[in-house]
């Protein structure tokens, strides 16, 4: 029997998101339907509303992150990476992310490939579990798979506050690394210290923040901003150090070539992660009982308030929607 559900839909770029009733999706062979209890915002959701994301098809239910129950009552979390492909080192050209172009998790029900459904970590609430998938997967691949961070090393995490960067901090500390973080907000730096950050630097009050660090003090950098961050980071990386880049909010990066080649620096790109990365991330989260940093939980009807908070980068950690 067909029935209807509530979903958050985008009908046109630049318009507010709408909570409306649509038909509940039906699972086909090889698919599983999840009753979503909580979902979480990512920067890509805001980019889609602004028309700053490739391949936009509207109307669409947004949302990549979700946790809930399947029909037998088991609590689950969803891997939002679709059709990664056979090569664990790089995704397939056919790969996509739940929430665009496929309808996503900002709805009471979502249908996904059965292989993308995993048991919810038992120590996490639904809201915490919903905060985990996309940011946790991206951070794990950046820190572990691509970054190869080891115990005792020092990692620089610029721009702490977003979901991926807070997971990067949590994962780095669980590994046993020393973590240096930067932010333009003293409040965010205070929260980062509570999560285990060893050194915190305010780049708004200290624009030459890199001079507060010793040359060669850092083994690895994980960054998503670009701008002149790379240039400053290269000056504090040890010879043979590495930079992992998973985004580019400033679109461009400027850096000097000399320290790059003279110090044998590796620059590694990454995005999302393979199914193997997702499984390993969940095992890591379970083993260390890592709890995501949840910024705020909004009711479904306040989705545009949640989107505005994300757009203004006011959050520390993940912004979550409660799906009633």
Count of CB atoms situated within 10 Å of the CB of 206: 13
Whether the pLDDT of residue 134 is over 90: the answer is: yes
Is residue 25 a contact partner of residue 111, using CB atoms and an 8 Å limit? yes
pLDDT tens per residue across span 56-85: 999 999 999 999 999 999 999 999 999 999
Is the pLDDT assigned to residue 251 strictly greater than 80? no
pTM: 0.96
Q: What is the pLDDT of residues 22-53, one digit of tens each?
A: 999 999 999 999 999 999 999 999 999 999 99
Q: Please, are residues 27 and 111 in contact by the beta-carbon 8 Å criterion?
A: yes
Mean pLDDT (whole number) for 95-122: 98
pLDDT at 2: 64
Domain at 137-269: CATH architecture: 3-Layer(aba) Sandwich (3.40)
| 263: pLDDT strictly greater than 60 | yes
Q: Domain locations in the chain?
A: 4-132+292-322, 137-269
Rounded CA-CA distance 17/19 in Å is 7
Flag whether pLDDT at 258 surpasses 70: yes
Taking residues 87-95, report their average pLDDT: 96
In angstroms, rounded to a whole number, what is the distance separating the alpha carbons of residues 161 and 310? Answer: 11
Provide the pLDDT confidence category of residue 252 given band limits of 50, 70 and 90. Answer: confident
CA distance 248 to 271: 11
Reported for 211-217, long-range contacts at CB under 8 A and 24+ positions apart, including other chains, are 213/156, 213/180, 217/154, 217/180
pLDDT at site 80: 98
The domain defined by 4-132+292-322 carries CATH number 3.90.180.10: yes
Average pLDDT, the chain: 96
Give the H or E element holding residue 277: helix 275-288
Classify residue 202 by burial, with Cβ atoms within 10 Å: 0-12, 13-18, 19+. middle
Distance CA 195, CA 90 (A): 31
What mean pLDDT comes out for the span 270-296? 98
d(CA 89, CA 269) in angstroms, rounded, equals 11
Fold agreement between 4-132+292-322 and 137-269: no
Q: Give the model confidence (pLDDT) of 146-204 as tens digits.
A: 999 999 999 999 999 999 999 999 999 999 999 999 999 999 999 999 999 999 999 99
């Amino acid at each position: 029997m067909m029935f209807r559900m509530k979903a958050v839909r985008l009908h046109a770029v630049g318009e507010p998101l709408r909570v409306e009733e649509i038909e509940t999706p039906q699972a086909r062979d090889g698919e599983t339907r999840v009753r979503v209890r909580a979902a979480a915002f990512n920067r890509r959701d805001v980019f889609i509303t602004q028309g700053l994301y490739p391949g936009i098809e509207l109307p669409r239910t947004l949302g990549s992150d979700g946790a809930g129950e399947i029909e037998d009552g088991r609590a689950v979390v969803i891997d939002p990476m679709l059709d990664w492909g056979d090569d664990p080192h790089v995704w397939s050209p056919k790969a996509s992310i739940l929430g665009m172009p496929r309808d996503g998790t900002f709805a009471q029900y979502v249908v996904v490939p059965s292989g993308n459904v995993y048991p919810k970590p038992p120590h996490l609430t639904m809201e915490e579990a919903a905060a985990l998938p996309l940011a946790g997967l991206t951070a794990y691949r950046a820190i572990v798979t691509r970054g190869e961070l080891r115990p005792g090393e020092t990692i620089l995490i610029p721009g702490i506050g977003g979901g991926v960067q807070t997971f990067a901090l949590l994962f780095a500390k669980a590994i046993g690394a020393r973590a240096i973080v930067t932010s333009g907000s003293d409040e965010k730096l205070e929260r980062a210290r509570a999560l285990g950050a060893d050194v915190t630097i305010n780049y708004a009050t200290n624009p030459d923040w890199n001079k507060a660090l010793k040359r060669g003090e850092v083994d690895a950098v994980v960054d998503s901003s670009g701008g002149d961050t790379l240039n400053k980071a290269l000056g504090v990386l040890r010879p043979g150090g590495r930079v992992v880049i998973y985004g580019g909010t400033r679109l461009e990066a400027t850096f000097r070539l000399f320290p790059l080649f003279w110090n044998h620096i590796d620059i590694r790109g990454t995005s999302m992660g393979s199914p193997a990365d997702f499984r390993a991330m969940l095992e890591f989260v379970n083993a260390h009982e890592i709890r995501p940093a949840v910024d705020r939980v909004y009711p479904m009807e306040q989705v545009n308030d949640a989107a505005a908070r994300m757009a203004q980068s006011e959050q520390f950690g993940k912004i979550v929607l409660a799906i009633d």
